[in-house]
A and B are shown apart, each in its own frame.
Chain A
Amino acid sequence: MSPDRQDHLRGAPMEYLYYPGCSLESAGKPYDESLRAVFRTLGLGLKELDDWNCCGATMYMSVDETVSLAISARNLALAQKDGNRELVAPCSACYTVLLKTNRFLRESPQLKKKVDRILGEAGLQYDLNVTIRHPLDVLVNDIGIEAAALAAKRSLEGVTFAPYYGCQIVRPERGFDDREFPSSMDRLFERLGAKSAYFPLKTRCCGGMLMTTFPRVCLQLVKDLLECAAENDAHCIVTTCPLCQVNVEVYQKRVNNAFGTSYEIPVLFFTQLLGLALGCSEKELGLQRNLIALKVPLSPLLA
């Protein structure tokens, strides 16, 4: 490890607990790979939470609130048991559900009592002492943009990106960035040489699971995003959420079929773009798994 690297780590915890979430084991695999690669390159530990379970997502919440909170809280109880209280959740849905679980349990003694009893049945206990972090928050606020720039091996100059945060990373909780116009990603990648495109839809919803339940409504939302990125000359869309990535990248062909368009905009996880700047390889970042191939000016960064 070079001297400046050690320098940038001052103040940041050496190891974070990692909650991948179900998506990152399948469709979001490149997110998992690139996140691990970026943390490794920056000399940060990432330890997977042992035996984590599904956070319940928005779908469980619509069926049963108590159960949904209880299964989500099991993860927090496991984190408490581990002792490392900084839990990194890269999927926006998991991130928001875990935050919400913390808030609901803090605000409602009635729910807390119920969940305590339920967790007790499984021999677990949770005392509201785990902090949920998004990796973007960790990278921008613990490591710092300047430190990331020091560790960078390549410049992202010439790349214009559309910073797409999606909804649940910034809402509903007041978190690490603005709820309508966040700027963490913009600042990070601009410092690394890229140009952030004018992208007013940065926190507009991609439709999430509506792609399955009401595809026509959802395709319209995704088309709006693609249109906005294309009109503002973005070479790629950069996301922070596995659901957004799937909707915008994997269903891009469907959008084209439905609306007679011909978009072919690569959609990267922010950790993939960051990894490119840090000098990670295509394979380390899982870039070969993206369906839409990188084009100039992004493709030379793979060399």
Chain B
Amino acid sequence: MKDEDRTPGLLPATERDLRRRFLEEVHLVPGGDRISRCLQCGSCTGSCPVSYAMDIPPRMVVALFRAGRIEEILRSRTIWICASCYMCTTRCPQAIKITDLLYALKRTAIDAGLYPDRFPVYLLSKYFVRTVNRYGRNHEILLLVQYYLRRNPLELFRLIPLGISMLRKGRVALFPAKVKGIAAIRSILDAAKSLELPREKEAVRYKEGMVGYRAVA
């Protein structure tokens, strides 16, 4: 929707819904409401080691949120490129938990299905969660093979020499180690699921040419 088509002061329905979801996530983060204190000083953007690769720098994320353009943030590359180094959080003069807010944004985007198919960060997280849910621990090889098969099988071939040298050095665990109390982990997962708010998958999906993703990787 173009800006001039909007009813002044009223956010479009999808925007309102995304905003509500995001705020729900934010309330679950201790200190998350400090987002309202942002001064727009830009310390976060200046401190970020990967802001050069972002389409929307961290300072602008807050600005766009305030301007009622959360969908734009959710479709940006920014939330996925954050490497969780917490430099912005450390330096923010207003003690805003920027990294944690980006996590909340990621969860909102995943929840609303706002990412392209086979999007790297989501794929990796998905297989990671799957591996941990199954064994109770992560298993590097299983995770990476699943990820690359789906994302870019060619890359898997390129990584073979590296994998072999790691194998030779005894730095590859061939088989996943399964936690003995896996039944307890499963009941933890089930219990957690039952406490989650019911969420419906939203119909909005990524379409070609939308903001963000294409430029990198």
Contacts and interface: CB of A to CB of B under 8 A. Distances in A.
Interface of A: 22-23, 25-30, 51-54, 56-67, 70-71, 74, 96, 103-104, 107-108, 110-111, 114, 117-124, 167-168, 171-172, 179-180, 203-205, 207-210, 212-218, 221, 250, 253, 288-291
Sorted from nearest, which 4 A-B pairs have the closest CB atoms?
Answer: A205-B85, A167-B85, A107-B30, A171-B86
Interface stretch (B6-14, B58-66, B68-76, B121-129): B121-129
Contacts, number: 199
Given A62-B110, A213-B80, A180 B90 contact: yes
A66 B110 CA distance: 15
B210 interface: no
A289 B120 contact: no
Contact of B50 (A22, A25, A57, A217): A217
A291 B132 CA distance: 28
B107 A65 contact: yes
Given A59-B128, A117-B195, A121-B188, 16 more contacts: A26-B171, A28-B171, A30-B171, A53-B185, A57-B128, A60-B129, A61-B103, A67-B188, A111-B30, A168-B85, A171-B90, A172-B89, A205-B50, A213-B217, A215-B217, A218-B83
B139 interface: yes
B129 A59 contact: yes
A215 B121 CA distance: 12
A58 B83 CA distance: 9
9 contacts: A22-B139, A26-B173, A53-B179, A62-B103, A63-B126, A180-B90, A213-B80, A214-B216, A221-B49
Nearest to B144: A212
B128 A60 contact: yes
B170 A289 contact: yes
B53 A214 contact: yes
A130 B197 CA distance: 30
B132 A217 contact: no
